[in-house]
Amino acid sequence: MIMPVTNKTAIVTGSSRGIGRSIAIQLAQAGFSVIVNYVSKPDEAANVVAEIKAAKSQAIAVQADVSKPQDAAKLFDQAEKAFGPVDILVNNAGVMTNKSFADMDEATYDRMMNINLKGTFNMLHLASTRLRDNGRIINLSTSALVTNMPTYGVYNATKAAVEAMTRVLAKELGSRHITVNAVAPGPVNTELFFSGKSQEFVDRLIKMIPLGRIGEVDDIAPIVVFLAGPDSGWINGQTIRANGGVG
């Protein structure tokens, strides 16, 4: 049972679309005031905010590139200005480009490292001092780490580092009763997943999943909402692999 919350604030990075959008909406439904973060598509973020407000919950959209420390700080600044101290951080912002090591170029490598890893670090660095006691941090990883598929090498490297930071930060913040966990989705029906993939590749991935389908965003968001809520207080430093049994 997910218990409702009141007077708490959540930042969800990369929440104008995909999994982040669903997380933002479901956190609002659970009673959180939500910061909807976007980089380049204000209309999509505005639509998320409008949907949350239509359901009588609170949200604002904040443009910020989390790979830039000053932008990461702006997310906390705007959250505190609008709703007060931050209780929940969901590090969802990420990019994925599938290339073999032979075909990987420096620009693609740098982009994934900057957003997936440095962006997550920037937010964790700030959350370490700006999140309220008894807060929750949820990082998004990937179940591709357990399948070791070709062309996922650099993307997996960024997410392996995110999981490593998750485990260490859980111990650093434990005395303040802040839990730090990760959720590692398998293939999910989002633009991020389908971008650059052939139907043959997608079909091959689906055959690897015992449940016989790719996931939906609503398979992932409720797990994050649970980890953000009061019922998850004894779960710390863990990675939950939501992937239909792929690994």
Average pLDDT of 199-216?
89
pLDDT at 4 over 60: no
pLDDT at 197 over 60: yes
**Structural domains of the chain, with CATH:** 8-242 (3.40.50.720)
Higher pLDDT, 171 or 4: 171
Average pLDDT of 17-23?
97
pLDDT at 24 over 90: yes
Distances, alpha carbon 146 to alpha carbons 60, 73, 157, 241, 242, in Å: 36, 33, 12, 9, 12
Q: Which of 38, 109, 152, 155 is catalytic?
A: 155
| 155 is known as an active-site residue | yes
Look up the pTM and report it. Answer: 0.95
Give percent of the chain above pLDDT 70: 98
CA distance 153 to 99: 8
pLDDT at 112 over 70: yes
What is the structure's pLDDT at 5? Answer: 61
Mean pLDDT of all residues belonging to the chain: 95
